[in-house]
Amino acid sequence: MKYTKEVKTGILALVAIFLFIFGYSFLKGKTWFDSSRIFYAVYNDVEGLSPSSPVTINGLKVGSVTKIGFLNNSGELLVTFTVDTDLPFSENSIAQVYGGGFIGGKSLAIIPKFEKGNLATEGDTLPGEIEEGLLELVNERLTPLQEKVETAIVSTDSLINSFNVVMNTGTRQNLIESIEDLNLAITSIKNSSRTVENILSDNRVKIDSALTNFVSVSENLQQFSRSVQEIELVEMSNNIEDVIANLETVTEKLNSGEGTAAKLINDPSVYNNLERATNQLDALIQDVKLNPKRYVHFSIFGKNPGPYSRPVDSLR
* Domain assignment of residue 156, yes or no: yes
Q: Is 299 exposed, middle or buried (0-12, 13-18, 19+ CB in 10 A)?
A: exposed
Q: Which of 107, 131, 155 is the last residue of a domain?
A: 131
Apex 56 CA angle, 55 and 59, nearest 5: 150
Q: Is residue 62 domain-shared with residue 24, that is, in the same domain?
A: no
* Domain assignment of residue 61, yes or no: yes
Q: Which of 86, 104, 131 is the last residue of a domain?
A: 131
**211 contacts 203 by C-beta, under 8 angstroms:** no
Q: Is residue 62 domain-shared with residue 95, that is, in the same domain?
A: yes
Distance between CA atoms of residues 132 and 47, nearest Å? 9
Distance between CA atoms of residues 92 and 113, nearest Å? 7
In this structure, is the dihedral angle defined by the CA atoms of residues 20, 23, 26 and 28, taken in order, positive or negative?
Answer: negative
Q: Is residue 73 domain-shared with residue 16, that is, in the same domain?
A: no
Distance between CA atoms of residues 200 and 203, nearest Å? 5
Q: Is residue 68 domain-shared with residue 155, that is, in the same domain?
A: no
Q: Which amino acid is at 302?
A: G
Q: Is residue 7 domain-shared with residue 25, that is, in the same domain?
A: yes
Q: How many CA atoms lie within 13 A of 40 on its CB side?
A: 11
Q: Is residue 44 domain-shared with residue 74, that is, in the same domain?
A: yes
* Domain assignment of residue 221, yes or no: no
Q: Is residue 27 domain-shared with residue 87, that is, in the same domain?
A: no
Give 79's strand partners: 41, 68
Q: Is residue 19 domain-shared with residue 5, that is, in the same domain?
A: yes
Q: Is residue 2 domain-shared with residue 14, that is, in the same domain?
A: yes
Distance between CA atoms of residues 282 and 285, nearest Å? 5
pLDDT tens digit string along 202-236? 888 888 888 888 888 888 888 877 776 666 666 77
* Domain assignment of residue 197, yes or no: no
Instruction: Quote the domain boundaries for residue 12.
Output: 1-33
* Domain assignment of residue 177, yes or no: no
Q: Is residue 39 domain-shared with residue 127, that is, in the same domain?
A: yes
Identify the CA nearest to 107 among candidates 74, 58, 72. Answer: 58
Instruction: Give me the tens of pLDDT residue by residue for the chain, a chain 316 residues long.
Output: 566 777 778 888 888 888 887 776 666 555 555 568 999 999 998 888 999 899 999 989 999 999 999 988 898 999 999 999 888 999 999 999 988 655 557 899 999 998 877 889 999 999 999 887 555 556 666 778 778 888 888 888 888 887 777 777 788 888 888 898 898 899 889 888 888 888 888 888 888 888 888 888 888 888 877 776 666 666 777 778 888 888 888 777 767 766 666 666 666 776 777 788 888 888 888 887 787 766 665 555 555 555 656 666 544 4
* Domain assignment of residue 112, yes or no: yes
* Domain assignment of residue 194, yes or no: no
Query: What's the whole-model pTM score?
Result: 0.38
* Number of domains the chain is built from: 3
Q: Is residue 51 domain-shared with residue 126, that is, in the same domain?
A: yes
* Domain assignment of residue 29, yes or no: yes
Distance between CA atoms of residues 46 and 302, nearest Å? 170
Give 99's strand partners: 106
Q: Is residue 65 domain-shared with residue 121, that is, in the same domain?
A: yes
